[in-house]
Amino acid sequence: MDWDCFRFFLAVVEHKSLSAAARELGVTQPTVGRRIRDLERWLDARLFDRETLGYSLTPAGETIVELAQGLDKTVNDIVRRVSGHDGRRVGRVRLSTAECLGIFWLVPRLSGFKQAFPGIELDMILGHNALDVMSGDCDIALRVGDPESQDAIGQCLGKVHFGLFASGDYLASYGRPARLEDLDGHSIIAWGGADRDSCVRNLIEPLIGIASVNMLYNSMAALLASGQSGHGVVVLPAFMAGPESGLERVLPDSVKHSEDLWLLTHKDLTKTAKVRAVMTFLAELVRKEADSLMLASTRDWSDLPCVPCSPQSA
């Protein structure tokens, strides 16, 4: 029996769909279906009911979910502890970061990575939801905002700044606000994703009663496009609104917010050469490109120390 079938089982439990589970696992839909059938044959039990709205657990499936989760955690612990003694800079490293940070800042700056580490396969996982290094979803997380897990190991590299931006054409038509009251009548366009409260609420708060938020997007790329199209004043991280974007900062002294940028890993991976190599590369990249990312911190990260993620380590 291939114990990896339980990983496929848990993915279907979470997503209730073979196709969604396949996307998460990086395989094809038939592969997921075959693994589920193999597991059902091995256990001699039907684990899912195939319904119109998706896959739901049968009573037999429900009885093994918790055990499968425990098995998955045990396997991840074994892999991490063994790989923690690996002194080679070769193999796969899974890096998770926000889609906007990955696409608009990190990916264009990775040209030197392959030359520096030809033996490392960097698996970039971009998305709205930050993956957890503690659960084994990824090896390294470059995360904007609080690390959430006090057991993760890493460093706060600085702060990513957020603000209001608009196109020159929009401001020419509707006026360039010189004070908060001048935003009266303007359209505010903001992020409406799952973590909206963490990085938008404080920035929008000064505008309550003056301007109205009349568009929400769950895509930073859509926000950028909306601002460039002159739809209104958009809430964006500053690294997305550089000179090449065609956007201008609106009320930079009155409306601003910042979030910590954390580089995280699991404690069992801190001695793994390939993980430390990627973390040091990323930290050095942040240091060199601090202006483009608009970070507050410019300290030297050439030899990255890893410490528990507590308020004292920020």
Question: If you average pLDDT over residues 80-86, what whole number do you get?
Answer: 57
Domain-terminating residue out of 67, 83, 99: 83
User: Mean pLDDT in the chain?
Assistant: 82
Domain-terminating residue out of 33, 55, 83: 83
SS3 164: strand
Question: If you average pLDDT over residues 196-206, what whole number do you get?
Answer: 68
Q: What pLDDT is attached to residue 57?
A: 92
Say if CB 275 and CB 265 are below 8 A apart. yes
Q: What pLDDT is attached to residue 134?
A: 54
Same domain, 94 and 214: yes
How many Å apart are CA 189 and CA 207, to the nearest integer? Answer: 12
- 67-79, pLDDT tens digit by residue? 888 877 776 666 6
Q: What pLDDT is attached to residue 59?
A: 93
- pLDDT above 50 for 314: no
Task: Pick the closest to residue 196 from 224, 220, 229, 225 (CA basis).
Answer: 220
C-alpha dist (Å) from residue 64 to 10, 13, 38, 45: 10, 11, 15, 11
Q: Domain total for the chain?
A: 2
**Domain holding 79: CATH number?**
1.10.10.10
Q: What pLDDT is attached to residue 135?
A: 61
Q: What pLDDT is attached to residue 149?
A: 63
**Domain holding 218: CATH number?**
3.40.190.290
Same domain, 190 and 231: yes
Q: What pLDDT is attached to residue 304?
A: 46
Question: If you average pLDDT over residues 105-120, what whole number do you get?
Answer: 90
- pLDDT above 60 for 130: no
Same domain, 17 and 137: no
Residue 56: domain span: 5-83
Q: What pLDDT is attached to residue 136?
A: 64
Same domain, 150 and 256: yes
Which comes out higher in pLDDT, residue 174 or 200? 174
Same domain, 214 and 257: yes
Lowest mean pLDDT among 33-47, 52-66, 148-162, 239-253: 148-162
Which comes out higher in pLDDT, residue 72 or 307? 72
- 1-41, pLDDT tens digit by residue? 667 788 899 999 988 999 888 888 878 889 999 999 999 99
- pLDDT above 90 for 191: no
Q: Which residues pair with 55 in a beta bridge?
A: 50
- The confidence band for 211, taking pLDDT boundaries of 50, 70 and 90, is confident
Q: What pLDDT is attached to residue 81?
A: 63
Task: Using CB atoms within 10 Å of the CB of residue 42, give its burial: 0 to 12 exposed, 13 to 18 middle, 19+ buried.
Answer: exposed
Query: What is the C-alpha R_g of the chain?
Result: 23
Same domain, 204 and 79: no
Say if CB 297 and CB 139 are below 8 A apart. no
Only one residue has tokens 């359209």, namely 187
Give the H/E segment covering residue 265: strand 256-265
Domain-terminating residue out of 61, 83, 105: 83
How many Å apart are CA 114 and CA 277, to the nearest integer? Answer: 12
Q: Please state, as a whole number, how many other Cβ atoms lie within 10 Å of the Cβ of residue 82.
A: 11
Q: What pLDDT is attached to residue 23?
A: 84
Exposure string of 264-300, with b = 16+ CB inside 10 Å and e = fewer, is bbbbbbbebbbbbbbbbbbbebbbeebeebbbebeee
- The confidence band for 128, taking pLDDT boundaries of 50, 70 and 90, is low
How many Å apart are CA 174 and CA 284, to the nearest integer? Answer: 42
- 249-306, pLDDT tens digit by residue? 999 988 888 888 999 888 778 778 899 899 999 999 988 888 777 644 434 434 444 5
Same domain, 160 and 37: no
Only one residue has tokens 């657990």, namely 57
- pLDDT above 90 for 80: no
Same domain, 78 and 109: no
- The confidence band for 233, taking pLDDT boundaries of 50, 70 and 90, is very high
Q: Please state, as a whole number, how many other Cβ atoms lie within 10 Å of the Cβ of residue 156.
A: 18
Only one residue has tokens 């990513």, namely 160
Same domain, 157 and 219: yes
Q: What pLDDT is attached to residue 312?
A: 36
Same domain, 20 and 111: no
Same domain, 171 and 240: yes
The bridge status of strand 256-265 relative to strand 140-144 is: antiparallel
Same domain, 178 and 225: yes
- The confidence band for 183, taking pLDDT boundaries of 50, 70 and 90, is very high
Determine the distance from the C-alpha atom of residue 119 to the mean position of all C-alpha atoms in its chain, rounded to a whole number: 25
Indicate yes or no: pTM above 0.85. no
For residue 93, give every residue at least 6 positions away whose Cβ sits within 8 Å of its Cβ, in sequence order, or none: 120, 121, 122, 123, 139, 140, 274, 275, 278
